[in-house]
Structure 1
């Protein structure tokens, strides 16, 4: 049906007006994404008032282009100064920064920009060809399925750390404890707020993210004052593609797998690109022949996580366009804009406004294609950061962190959260505890609790309810395999060392 309206869609999209809007919004998204603390959601929300004066297709194009660019651009500060611009970059920030310290900043960001574009294009094609069918699958998910999906995410948090499983578990429990601060999901009573009204909504995630990644780096910069190994200058931006084809070809299976995982997770309401990135990275490490290099500059893990980022962003539009169900916070904004423009999301919109919907789908493709040329431009400018000593950059970085933490709720509580959790993260890292599981515990703790309590209420306290539905049983089996197989392999290795035969 979409192909019948492509001619009219091209007429709506291929205009100078659309080009200027998408180009300017792409630059805006690149800027916001590259500043720690300023999220893609914040960037799209700032554009909403401007969309009131636009036609439907340019309005959606502005939001889609901004979001796609911001998700990619968050990799730039992650590589250069080890501070992720968005939550989606937190999963592989160590690999990006490790490659930069090894003098491979061009290779790292080259992988990031191309894998992000490929993942986004894949997700857009899935949106075009299979939106109604895939959206029907997401409607079958209840609290039981979401509980197992969230538990799968927490499992990923433990498995993706380079530290021991015990230390990763402890770090995850710290994150879950932080996530439990706020209003109880069942009784509505405050928990661990110590009488502070600013904590009733829980610990704000963006200040926590900034604090746990930025503050430890700043503390080390001021305390040790040791200069990192010089990174090779990028020079010609097109040098980023030198040897890149070989990397992508070697990991073509990873690209396909992570783009698929990212799209599927993006389709599930409430999941989003950050969870897709974490899970894809963990799956990549589990199936990799070199899992020991993950967290220390793994190009393979980088390919997987970056592809999942933008494919999840595109996948989130499937339930949004077909059923009006937001897949994440950005698609919730898009749904609001569609309603304002008189395009009520749902199955009927494909019949009543087919030309407009086809044009919007083309916008998804164009936005992800633009990531490569404009991403190269952004990387070329951002690479100048490498020429400035880190000790000189530190006060400016701290200023950005304070602004980003304060701007979430326009409250000093965000800055306090940033500092407290930053000091905690510094102490954890100095003692060998990974920060990544703690971050994911904060992200998914409430999701696990809410779906666990809801499921127990539905099943009247019976644990069998978690296994009765086919999809829930499949996810439960996946979680069990991920936990059991490493234990069996560990026992097997121990018995081989002791000369025993494993039965």
Structure 2
């Protein structure tokens, strides 16, 4: 991007109303992220109805600030209560809580705030540099490449979202099935509508999102309400929440850069997102540490690397979302839906048609992550009070937002029913260890996958070999086929070895 475009984008971001929205969204994300059981994705889903009344930059800025602060604030209950506030925080919750037991709770929370902000800035730089370059290359993509990219994002999400690929693929297929409800993209004939007029336009995306991520969280929270331990009393050391953070950085500078680079790389993979990055970063930190025996006893090294990867992955997850229109994670899936509602189709052409707006969107990442430090200061000081809010007040309030937000989409009670049904399905699925993210990505990418498949088949005169006719399409196709066949080949090889071992034992 040219300097003129960046300056114009910065002028948009620095408008008082945009900065005000970023600040309010960050405070909202702080509250939701600090409450155990309430996720960053749920916070984003509840925010969607408010984005109707915002311009595109303000709407995306609200989502970015909410998510960045919620994921960072997820460290607070992990340190104090041993309950991870977000899935990413679960990767290092034992380490953070061990620091608390040593009397270093402020250091654990300070590391989480500062290195999350620094990692987010690193990811924002990666987004700023790589997105325009990829968009320029993607302008030459055809329907074949977009088909393979969409399929790659779906398969990657399904395989890494759970320890059981079969469960992930089931969730993915469910999302794709839901995406087929409505009018056929080619013939215009209704599919799976069962005569219900409200389904002719398809299953409404926003109520489904609110149900699966917000209402389902409430159901899970109610079922586990008695398991939340009491909040510890305030202690005297809270006057200096960032004491020792600089010393920790000087001791382990490589951990920060390695965690940020790893988070940015993994987050940019379609359908993966930043949660997985925290788990891998913590494992890598222990693997390459000179003192691996200290991990699990309250060691700063692993916290620095995993915290850095959190927000770095969050920022870079927007690379496939903005460049290809393929969500990097569930949050970017929501953001793509918001952009569509604003009449903007994410993809390489958007970088040509409206580069100033995209520059403003990317710069909101930098502003939001810079605000993490001052807001995080007050978050650490007020963590005791936030965690003390009775669940009896939190749950009804969120339920009201779920109902009102779903109804406001089309002003129909049918959408409220969709939200409730989606939430119940999501609760039952997660209770049986079926992941939710592939369902949402299938719902978002299903129409893209179907449209590009039909277009490609028409171009290739019905020949599947046409999907491998272009060099890049052939490479992507081979990668996707390898991802599909690898688990099957691994299973066959495992059974073959077991039979050989049984034969030798006999």
**Alignment TM class, shorter chain as reference:** 0.5 to 0.7
Answering whether residue 425 of structure 2 is matched by residue 424 of structure 1, we say yes
Q: State the distance in 2 between where 1:365 and 1:431 align.
A: 39
Q: CA distance change for structure 1 residues 457 and 479 in 2, over 3 Å: closer, same or farther?
A: same
Contact 2:212/2:419 (8 A) holds in 1: yes
**Structure 2 residue corresponding to 1:277, chosen from 257, 273, 279:** 273
Q: State the distance in 2 between where 1:81 and 1:412 align.
A: 36
Contact 2:216/2:426 (8 A) holds in 1: yes
Shift of 1:38: 4.9
Shift of 1:416: 0.6
Contact 1:72/1:112 (8 A) holds in 2: no
Q: State the distance in 2 between where 1:39 and 1:113 align.
A: 27
Hey, what does 1:204 align to over in structure 2?
Answer: 204
Alignment of 1:482-493 (within 5 A): 482-493=483-494
Unaligned runs of 5+ in 2: 33-41, 79-84, 286-301, 326-334
Aligned partner of residue 424 in structure 2, secondary structure? helix
Aligned partner of residue 227 in structure 2, secondary structure? coil
Contact 1:72/1:113 (8 A) holds in 2: no
Shift of 1:153: 1.7
Q: CA distance change for structure 1 residues 493 and 45 in 2, over 3 Å: closer, same or farther?
A: same
Aligned partner of residue 399 in structure 1, secondary structure? helix
Q: State the distance in 2 between where 1:42 and 1:74 align.
A: 18
Q: CA distance change for structure 1 residues 261 and 469 in 2, over 3 Å: closer, same or farther?
A: farther
Answering whether residue 19 of structure 2 is matched by residue 29 of structure 1, we say no
Shift of 1:276: 6.0
Contact 2:269/2:320 (8 A) holds in 1: yes
Q: State the distance in 2 between where 1:120 and 1:200 align.
A: 43
Q: CA distance change for structure 1 residues 437 and 93 in 2, over 3 Å: closer, same or farther?
A: farther
Shift of 1:137: 0.7
Q: State the distance in 2 between where 1:77 and 1:197 align.
A: 43
Q: State the distance in 2 between where 1:358 and 1:165 align.
A: 37
Q: State the distance in 1 between where 2:169 and 2:353 align.
A: 47
Q: State the distance in 1 between where 2:360 and 2:220 align.
A: 50
TM-score (norm 1): 0.68
Hey, what does 2:162 align to over in structure 1?
Answer: 162
Q: State the distance in 2 between where 1:429 and 1:126 align.
A: 32
Number of residue pairs aligned between Structure 1 and Structure 2: 443
Q: State the distance in 2 between where 1:429 and 1:362 align.
A: 35
Answering whether residue 306 of structure 2 is matched by residue 310 of structure 1, we say no
Q: Which stretch has the larger CA shift, 107-116 or 475-484?
A: 107-116
Q: Per-residue CA shift, 1:141-186, capped at 9, x if unaligned?
A: 2221111111112212321233522222222222222222122112
Aligned partner of residue 173 in structure 1, secondary structure? helix
Alignment of 1:247-262 (within 5 A): 249-250=254-255, 252-253=257-258, 255-260=260-265, 262=267
Q: State the distance in 2 between where 1:80 and 1:408 align.
A: 34
Answering whether residue 64 of structure 2 is matched by residue 68 of structure 1, we say yes
TM-score (norm 2): 0.67
Hey, what does 2:53 align to over in structure 1?
Answer: 46
Q: State the distance in 2 between where 1:448 and 1:454 align.
A: 10
Q: Per-residue CA shift, 1:36-84, capped at 9, x if unaligned?
A: 3656665555333xx9xxxxxxxx6x566444313324537978999xx
Unaligned runs of 5+ in 1: 52-59, 83-91, 266-274, 291-297, 321-326, 337-343
Aligned partner of residue 218 in structure 1, secondary structure? helix
Q: CA distance change for structure 1 residues 476 and 317 in 2, over 3 Å: closer, same or farther?
A: closer
Hey, what does 1:448 align to over in structure 2?
Answer: 449
Hey, what does 1:218 align to over in structure 2?
Answer: 218
Contact 2:171/2:436 (8 A) holds in 1: yes
Contact 1:206/1:405 (8 A) holds in 2: yes
Q: State the distance in 1 between where 2:484 and 2:278 align.
A: 13
Shift of 1:485: 3.5
Q: CA distance change for structure 1 residues 432 and 70 in 2, over 3 Å: closer, same or farther?
A: closer
Q: Per-residue CA shift, 1:97-149, capped at 9, x if unaligned?
A: 6877998598699658844653454444653x566543321202222111111
Contact 1:158/1:169 (8 A) holds in 2: yes
Q: State the distance in 1 between where 2:89 and 2:343 align.
A: 34
Contact 2:22/2:65 (8 A) holds in 1: yes
Shift of 1:14: 9.3
Q: State the distance in 2 between where 1:396 and 1:403 align.
A: 11
Q: CA distance change for structure 1 residues 197 and 489 in 2, over 3 Å: closer, same or farther?
A: same
Q: Per-residue CA shift, 1:402-454, capped at 9, x if unaligned?
A: 22222333332221111112222232233343333323322322222222122
Contact 2:206/2:406 (8 A) holds in 1: yes
Q: State the distance in 2 between where 1:399 and 1:100 align.
A: 31
Aligned partner of residue 36 in structure 1, secondary structure? helix
Hey, what does 2:387 align to over in structure 1?
Answer: 386
Contact 1:100/1:108 (8 A) holds in 2: no
RMSD: 5.1
Shift of 1:463: 0.7
Aligned partner of residue 277 in structure 1, secondary structure? coil
Aligned partner of residue 43 in structure 2, secondary structure? coil
Alignment of 1:88-487 (within 5 A): 93-96=86-89, 111=112, 114-115=115-116, 118-124=119-125, 127=128, 133-222=133-222, 226-230=226-230, 236=238, 238=241, 249-250=254-255, 252-253=257-258, 255-260=260-265, 262=267, 275=271, 277=273, 281=276, 304=309, 306-313=311-318, 328=336, 365-374=366-375, 377=378, 384-487=385-488
Q: Per-residue CA shift, 1:327-372, capped at 9, x if unaligned?
A: 9566679998xxxxxxx9877999xx9xx99999877644543344
Q: State the distance in 2 between where 1:383 and 1:452 align.
A: 53
Q: CA distance change for structure 1 residues 347 and 315 in 2, over 3 Å: closer, same or farther?
A: same
Q: State the distance in 1 between where 2:317 and 2:499 align.
A: 46
